[in-house]
Amino acid sequence: MNPSEESRDRLSLTAARILVCVVLTVAFAIGIPGNSFVVWTICRRMKQQPSTVVLILHLAIADLLVLATMPIWIYSFAHSWVFNVVTCKALVFVVYCSMYASIFLITALSIERFTAVFYPFAVRWWKKKAVTFLVVSGIWFLSIAFGATIIPFQETDETDIGLQCAARRYDSNAQEVACLLIETTMGFLIPFTVIIICYVSISRRIGRMVCPSKRRSTKLIASVVAAFGLCWLPHHIFNLMSVASVLMEDSHPEMSGSLDKTVAVGVYIAGSITFVSSCINPLLYAFAARNFRSSVRFVKLSRLFEQMGPLAKLESVKEAPSPNGKEETLTTMEMI
């Protein structure tokens, strides 16, 4: 590498480090009070906590777990990693555990919404506290199990910006490819495929419903899904780029090297964007709750969550006229 290329790479890393610190600081400043407010509202202001609200509660808890580690990451990127490798492994585990928990919780919300639209009487099964407890417990168990897979490979490493907790060491190329593909497949592709199927089906059905409140709550969950997807997509793209680099290491060494350089810089920016997903949900809730008539914010938020939860009472929702000119009636749950 000639001096000009080395200087350019160092400048790119410096710019990436500054951007990462700014993004993480903003995410921490917004996310901690925002998610704490969501948790407080649900736990203290809501007597009834339906399954939808319980899932939102745990989504906020997962975000708070990540945000609690933020000051350490900010200091690390601004200066260098000052802790041992055990701390590095533990903090990365928390981040990945939260990632899996968030996507699994969002998938559960999407499936619940799909069930409410197409099988409204089956939602009564979701209302049982024992069922909700089992679903949430299962989600956290899977999240911990998948998050723990990163622990053996995460290490600290000396980089151009100092010692960082950003390296992974694998025993072989095959092991690296397998781990990265499992992470992207289980933590993104499969859950989002399920989510997309749910929402494509829901959009076709709910578009015929004359019920603004139901559309609003469904759009809110859809916006949570979209925000998470946009925040984590760059991370998984760089994962796939790393896989491509490993596979082309022998056949196309120059291309593999170029991909490695791109990943080396982009992984920091993509990593910082993933933290944005931990602060954006409270903003979405606040935006969705703005139409409720109240001067007290927690009242607006609690009413929003109450509206999203399934009620015991079934109602008949009129659909828009069908092509043959007849008006159909759809029986559905209040939660849609």
Higher pLDDT, 20 or 296: 20
Over the range 31-47, which residues count as b (16 or more CB within 10 Å of their CB) and which as e?
A: bbebbebbbebbeeebe
Nearest to 100 by CA among 58, 153, 39: 58
What pLDDT does residue 293 have? 52
In a domain, 32, yes or no: yes
Question: What is the pTM assigned to this prediction?
Answer: 0.83
Place of tokens 């099988």: 119
- Contact call for residues 135 and 127 (beta carbons, < 8 A): no
Q: pLDDT by residue (tens digit) across 220-265?
A: 888 888 888 899 999 999 999 999 999 898 888 888 888 888 887 7
What per-residue confidence (pLDDT) applies to 211?
Answer: 54
Residue 202 domain flag: yes
DSSP 143-168: HHHHHHTTTTTEEEEEETTEEEEEEE
**Mean pLDDT value across residues 189-211:** 79
Q: What sign does the CA torsion over 8, 9, 13, 19 have?
A: positive
Q: Does 18 reside within a domain?
A: yes
Q: How many domains does the chain have?
A: 1
Residue 144 lies in a domain: yes
Rounded to the nearest 5 degrees, what angle is found at the Cα of 143, between the Cα atoms of 142 and 144? Answer: 90
Question: How confident is the model over 37-54, as a mean pLDDT?
Answer: 85
Domain membership flag for residue 3: no
Predicted local distance difference test score (pLDDT) of residue 334: 39
Percent of the chain surpassing pLDDT 70: 77
Residue 12 pLDDT greater than 80, yes or no: no
Check residue 213 and give its pLDDT: 54
In this predicted structure, the answer to whether residue 197 has a pLDDT above a threshold of 80 is yes
The percent of residues in the chain predicted with pLDDT above 90, rounded, is 36
Do the domain assignments include residue 264? no
Domain with 50, as residue range(s), is 9-228+276-333
252 lies in some domain: no
- Token pair recorded at residue 119: 């099988």
Kindly report the CATH number assigned to the domain that includes residue 17: 1.20.1070.10
- Between 3 and 81, whose confidence is greater? 81
Residue 19 lies in a domain: yes
